[in-house]
Amino acid sequence: MTERLTELEGVVLSEIGLRGNATAFKVRRSFELSASATWRGSAGAVYAAVKRLVGRGLLEARPIAGKRGGNHLLLSAKGKRALRAWALDFELASDPGFDPFRMRAGLWLGLPKDQLALHLDLVERAVIGRIAQLRVLGETEDEIGRAQVDLCIRLQELRLRWINELRDTSGINPDPSSARR
């Protein structure tokens, strides 16, 4: 049985095997351009992950001729099996994972009503802005990226619904200048 991949390793293999980013630089660049601050923050970890994946025999590294050098990366047969196992791991796929909104939301409930009202207005505007950014990003993505962006948009829309339900149950009116959905 193949050793379980970390999320970072699975995404790196996906970038190389499915999205055509065949160098560590291109994989790192895809992380830097991510809509997620969490993934952008992982860009520096890409080189270490690639090195580990090569060492485990999941990636093959073929030197690139020329001044720039580097390696052309390919999934090995073992890497293809590992990527498939990672993609089909229903337990990890259903894990709520790292979610900054969820980790903070319960703490907002302890705010005084006036501060909660202001905070919900600010969070709502930020979420609406993020949805707009995601829609633009989705227009430039490949099929894999579009599916990811679509799920991100749906998550943001659920956050808006939660904000509005919290307002309703707390008797909070939104700021009239807010672009409430």
Give the span between the Cα atoms of 101 and 104, in whole angstroms. Answer: 5
91 HSE (CA, 13 A, CB side): 3
- What is the Cα–Cα distance from 19 to 39, expressed in whole angstroms? 16
Which residue shows structure tokens 């909070």?
A: 172
Cβ(12)–Cβ(64) below 8 Å: no
> pLDDT tens digits, residue range 79-111?
999 999 999 999 989 988 888 899 999 999 999
Check whether 181 has a pLDDT greater than 50: no
* Res 31 pLDDT > 90: no
pLDDT digits (tens, 9 = 90+) for 119-149: 999 999 999 999 999 999 899 888 998 999 9
* CB contact set of 146 (below 8 Å; sequence gap of 6+): 138
| One-letter amino acid for residue 180 of the chain | R
Closest Cα partner for 53 from 17, 88, 26?
17
Q: pLDDT tens-digit profile of 53-74?
A: 999 999 999 999 888 778 999 9
pLDDT at 20 over 90: no
Which segments of 18-142 does DSSP mark as H helices, in order?
A: 24-32, 37-40, 46-55, 77-87, 90-93, 100-108, 113-138
Contact 16, 61 (CB under 8 A): no
**Tokens read off for 47:** 């080189």
Q: What is the dihedral of CA 178, 121, 99, 32, to 10 degrees?
A: 60
pTM summary value: 0.77
Cβ contact 113:170 at 8 Å = yes
Q: What structural domains and CATH numbers belong to the chain?
A: 7-93 (1.10.10.10), 100-170 (1.20.1280)
Given the DSSP bridges, would you call strands 71-75 and 59-63 parallel, antiparallel or unpaired?
antiparallel
